[in-house]
Each structure stands twice: as C-alpha cells, then as structure tokens.
Amino acid sequence: MITWRPEPVNQTLLQTLIFHHFKSTKLIPSLPYHTLRRPNSRPRTSPRSQQSHHKPPPNLLRKPIPFVTDLKQLENPDEALSLFNHYREMGCKHHYPSYSSLVYKLARSRNFKCVEALLFNIRDHNIRCKETLFIALIQHYGKSQLPQDAIELFRQMDSFNCVRTLQSFNALLNVLVDNGRLENANEMFKGCSKLGFRPNCVSFNVMIKGWLERGECEQARKVFDEMLETQVEPSVVTYNSLIGYLCKKGDLDGAKSLLHDMTQKGKKPNAITYSLLMEGLCSLGKHKEAKKMMFDMEYQGCKPRLVNYGVLMNDLAKRGMIEEAKALILEMKKRRFKPDVVTHNILINYLCKDGRASEAYKILVDMQVQGCEPNAATYRMMVDGFCRVEEFEEGLKVLNAMLMSKHCPRLETFFCLVRGLIKCGKVNDVCFVLDEMEKKKMRFDLESWEVLVRDACGEDGGASGLVTELISAL
C-alpha cells in the first residue's frame, strides 16, 4: 500500500487539466468520416450468371443497404448524420430501414436533438414507421431519465402514420414506473380503456412492480386482485414479483403460501422463483436450507440454473467465505454447469471490496481463458478495485482493456482514476483518460475539476486559488 503525499505544482499537469476543462465547455467538431463503399456500387456478374434462370432463395433477394452497412461500422456516433447526408448528396434515396437504423444509432448515443430533427424529417417525407421504432425510442428516453419526452413521443405516434398498440402503451407504462412517476403510470393505467386498450398481464405486472418498489404491498395486492377479477391470468413473473417482495421483508411463510397458490393454479415455478426463496432463506442466515432447496427443486420438476448457484455464492462471499464460494464453482463444473460472467462477477466484486484486487484480477484472466468474456460491470469493479488499493497504473491497464472491448466506465470511476494518476504524476496517462472521456462526452463538473487542480497543485494554496478563480470565471 502506497501513502501519497502532495507534490509541488506540476506545471505540465496543471496546464493539461486547465486545457481539458476549457475544452470540455465547448462543442468539439467531430472527426471526418470515411465511407467504406460507394452508394451505387454493385457486384460484378458474369454474362452466364446473368442468363441464369434459377431463382435465388428468398433470403438472398434482400440486398444489403450500403448506408446501413457503413453505419454499423461507425465507431463515432457523431459521424452518423454526416454519413446519412453524404449518401443523400450522392443521389441515394433513403427509405425506412435507413432512417430507423440512424434513429437507433443516435438514440443509443443519447443524441436526442438529432433524433427529434430526424423524426420531423421522417414525417415531412411521409415515411411510414413501424411501432417497434417508437417502442425502442420510448425505452431509450426512459434509460436517459426523460419520461416526459417518452410521453410526448407516445402521443405523437399517430402523426407518423403509426398505429399505437398495447405494446407501446406497456413500454411507456414501464418507463414511467422506472423513473419514479408511479402516479402518472397509475393514472394512465386506469385510463387505458379511453385509449382503446384492455390491460394485459404485462400491464398489471408493471403496476405491481411499481407499487412493490415503493413498498406499498397493499396497493400491489389490490392490482393483483383486480387482475383476477378482470380474468387476466397471472404469469410466473406476477408471482415472482410478489414472492420476491415478501422474501425481502423476511416473510418466508407468506412467500411459500404464494408458491403453493401458484402451483395450485397450474403455474410452474421457475428457477427465478426458487432463487428468490433461496435469497430469503439466506437473508435469515439459513444457508443450509437454501442449498437444500436448490437440490430439492429438481424433484419438483425445475432444474437448477446458474442464478440458483449465484445466490449461494453471493451469500458465502458476503460472509467472507471466499474459498467456499470458489469451491462452489468447482461443484458447478462437476454438474456440467459452465460459470457465466455474472457468477465470476460475484467473486470479483467481493474480492475488490475486500482490498484483494490482484486476486480478483486473476479470476478475470481465468474467465477469459475459459472463453467467458467480461462485461462492463466486470471491468468497472476491477478499475474501482485497483483504485481502492491505490494501484492506479494497474487500474489504467484494465480501463484500456475495457475501452478496447467497447465498454464505458462510470464518471465516478474516471474521476477516481484521474485523481490517482495525478498523485502519481502520470501526465501522459491523465491526458489519455481525459481524451477518452471527451470521446464519450463525459465531463467532470466544476467541483470535481477544483479537486483535481488542487491535487495537481499540492500544498501551493495560492496556485490552487488562482486556477479555481480562472475556472469559476467560465
């Protein structure tokens, strides 16, 4: 473990921080794109092949759209609109597949201003859109915590010559619940018939989830009763929501009663149902009973899944029994279960929290050797883990691998790593991280910049005050 001490002002590092702060407050033009093929290019065919009367299979009749193919290969989403306009200038007429692909690309990068401009363009050209496009956009607005925009889009769907169905209604309902607007969701749910819809199982499940997340079990029960009254058949998901809530509250008897009710009505519990019950047992310190349930569930006609092993592993690791958790992986392999990324992440998470980042990194390497690719959570936990033990250069290596794998850290992770590299005096590495942040359009707020500048200044309070004044004046 290294104990860091403030260094004297590093002028190069200080200039770097100020430059990147000023840079992040302005719009940076995107890099020029490169088209990979000409829009009008066609594969050459021999005269003999042209004379052939054999009809190609149906799947070969659909030719790939050059714009869509090039769009998929663009790494920088900011170049997407320029590529779209370039193809148009070359005489290429865009149809729905091109428009929808571009909308998806822009929405994934959260460039909603361009999305909205493109939607106006679609409406002006009277291009008929599929409902799936609007459902995807509603979900992206939800993930970006823009529920009001999702509502407006749902209301405008008719103007795009697109018929709204219960599917888009349920998508919006879920966005409202996930964004904490349960009252709006409830109002919309009650007014479902005015829109010409009849709530289905998914609609009821969304509302049950919303009330349970707020801790209002009685309201969730009322929705469940209404579901039965309107003869909408509950699904396994419905029962799992209620069972999971009761287990979290420690009401195992109530959860088991629901399980019994579920089986009596002909609904087979799945691996998730049992995993929720196992979590409830583990939360009460009944690890042996949870393990017994996992093996007993097979006799009930439900084969254990990775999620069930994950519950046991998580409980062992939480209690500091890392070796026992590792032994469970060997047991999984004996029973011909291949541990997935979530399983490995459980061990990596608790090892990193326990300050054992090097051990966690070995697990990351082992899982890759076994053909299991890390996900964003794996990399994030590893970078955070190395930062926790102040091994910032190791953290930077993992960050680099993360970026190469097209995953992106959280802003907190970037801040922790940059701050550590500043303390190490690694100017070039700080520049690299700040440049990567700029590519991802992720920027520190003023308070974070002030902390970083003070770290770079060390104990020189005068320099720190001066830079803070400069930044504050922006």
Domain 340-443 classification at class level: mainly alpha
Position 230 pLDDT exceeds 50: yes
Q: Do the beta carbons of residue 118 and residue 80 sit within 8 Å?
A: no
Q: How far apart, in whole angstroms, are the C-alpha atoms of residue 445 and residue 412?
A: 11
A 10 A CB-CB count for 34 gives 10
- Overall average pLDDT of the 135-164 stretch: 94
pLDDT tens digits along 323-348 = 999 899 888 888 888 999 999 999 99
More confident residue, 139 or 124: 139
Q: Which amino acid is at 73?
A: Q
Beta carbons of 281 and 293 less than 8 angstroms apart: yes
Contacting residues for 235 by C-beta, under 8 A, at least 6 apart: 201, 205, 267
Residue 12 has pLDDT above 80, yes or no: no
| Banded model confidence at residue 232, pLDDT cuts 50, 70, 90 | very high
Residue 237: what pLDDT?
95
> Which of the two residues, 91 and 55, has the higher pLDDT score?
91
Query: 256: which residues sit within 8 A by CB, 6+ positions away?
Result: 277
Instruction: Indicate the pLDDT class of residue 21, thresholds 50, 70 and 90.
Output: low
Per-residue pLDDT, 13:
57
List Cβ<8 Å contacts ≥24 apart for 440-443: 440/408, 442/408, 442/411, 442/414, 443/24
Nearest to 464 by CA among 7, 24, 3: 7
* pTM, to two decimals: 0.76
Give yes or no for residue 109 having a pLDDT over 80. Answer: yes
Lowest mean pLDDT among 398-402, 417-421, 423-427: 423-427
Q: What is the pLDDT of residue 10?
A: 52
Residue 458 pLDDT class (50, 70, 90 cuts): low
What value, to the nearest 5°, has the Cα angle with vertex 408 and ends 403 and 410?
135
Give residue 53's pLDDT: 46
Can you give the pLDDT at residue 33? 38
The residue extents of the domains of the chain are 340-443
Q: What is the 3-state secondary structure (H, E, C) of 158-176?
A: HHHCCCCCHHHHHHHHHHH
So what's the pLDDT on residue 277? 96
For residue 472, the model assigns a pLDDT of 54
| Average pLDDT, rounded, for the chain | 84
pLDDT of amino acid 18:
56
> Over 80: is that where the pLDDT of 423 sits?
yes
Side-chain half-sphere exposure of 255, counting CA atoms within 13 A:
22
What pLDDT sits at residue 92?
Answer: 85
Closest CA to 305 of 279, 348, 343: 343
Q: What is the pLDDT of residue 98?
A: 87
SS3 241: helix
Share of the chain above pLDDT 90, in %: 54
pLDDT at position 127, please?
87
Residues 6+ apart with CB under 8 A from 271: 297, 302, 303, 304, 305, 307, 308
At residue 62, the pLDDT reads 62
